[in-house]
Amino acid sequence: MEIARDGRGTTTIGGTTFVWGQRTYIMGVINMTPDSFSGDGLARDVNAAVQLALQLQERGADIIDVGGESTRSYRAYPGASPTSLGEELSRVVPAIEALAQAVDVPISVDTYKGEVAEAALAAGASLINDVWGLKRDPRVARVAADAGVPVVLMHNQDHMCYRDVVSDVIAALHRITAYAVQEGIARENIILDPGIGFGKTHMHNLEILRNLDRFAVLENPLLIGTSRKSTIGSVLDLPVDERIEGTAATVALSIAKGADIVRVHDVTEMVRVTRMSDAIVRGPRST
């Protein structure tokens, strides 16, 4: 693994080298779903996805994350049902094919299904973002290993029982990392996500954010996704479309505690937050 100046290493995603510890990177979200919790689902509108991707790139996104299944589909929301494999493929593959021709930044596919991951890579994606950390479909590990692409592995579980949420999540991410390496994924291609909002109560989420610096023991880059999430709504008593300030607070404090990538919907505003936070935490950029 190439070592960066601060000793934390680098990862190449789609031909772009990410230098960990140098600055915070922005992952912009494109939801190709009709039922996104954040209210920004585009369903199958590929033209809208291209226009949004171009905007996200222009506004400072370093990665564009494309998903075809809302978390509503597998988290017991009233009236929700799982998204079929065929439906997910029909949502993400045409969008990724179009985006790969339109933008210069790397494209990530948000999926936990091996067949979707494989098709997305063939369409032009260069990063797999697995919200189940290889637990739902272990084939994702083989797809990533064979393609030599990086993965985001998130902590997730079907219950909210912990002895100590921070210690338990760190231990689980250790196990996930070991399994990924065993399956042939290069250590430098693993990015970890503690899974804010997944298998956790609001108090669990706040405890993880409060102790995010403890996750440095994992020695892998850390992605944090708090954007517009229900914990913010719970604390502030605000609907999804009024959570931008709460998101900004979580982003800034996550950077102070060691986040390397933040996954966000509101790219313009969060780029400003990350640049200001980086200037305080890491020093102003030289360019």
SS3 of the chain: helix, strand, coil, percent, to 5: 45, 15, 40
Q: What is the mean pLDDT of the chain?
A: 92
Q: For residues 88 and 10, what is the distance between their CA atoms, to the nearest angstrom?
A: 31
86-122 confidence digits (pLDDT tens): 999 999 999 999 999 999 999 999 999 999 999 999 9
Residue 70, pLDDT score:
79
Q: pLDDT band at residue 36, thresholds of 50, 70 and 90?
A: low
Residue 87, pLDDT score:
93
Residue 6, pLDDT score:
53
Q: For residues 13 and 151, what is the distance between their CA atoms, to the nearest angstrom?
A: 10
Does residue 229 have an active-site annotation?
yes
Q: pLDDT band at residue 264, thresholds of 50, 70 and 90?
A: very high
Q: For residues 124 and 211, what is the distance between their CA atoms, to the nearest angstrom?
A: 36
Residues 6+ apart with CB under 8 A from 161: none
0.85 exceeded by pTM: yes
Catalytic residue among 23, 135, 228, 263: 263
Q: Assess whether pLDDT exceeds 50 at residue 38.
A: no
Q: pLDDT band at residue 3, thresholds of 50, 70 and 90?
A: very low
> When comparing pLDDT for 31 and 39, which is higher?
31
Paired strand residues for 28: 64, 264
121-144 confidence digits (pLDDT tens): 999 999 999 999 999 999 999 999
Residue 61, pLDDT score:
98
Catalytic residue among 23, 91, 113, 229: 229
Paired strand residues for 191: 152
Does residue 200 have an active-site annotation?
no
Q: For residues 185 and 67, what is the distance between their CA atoms, to the nearest angstrom?
A: 22
Residue 159, pLDDT score:
94
- Out of 1.10.10.10, 3.40.50.2020, 3.40.30.10, 3.20.20.20, the CATH code matching 22-281 is 3.20.20.20
In a 3-state reduction of DSSP, which class is residue 44? coil
CA dihedral 270, 275, 280, 283 (to 10 degrees): 160
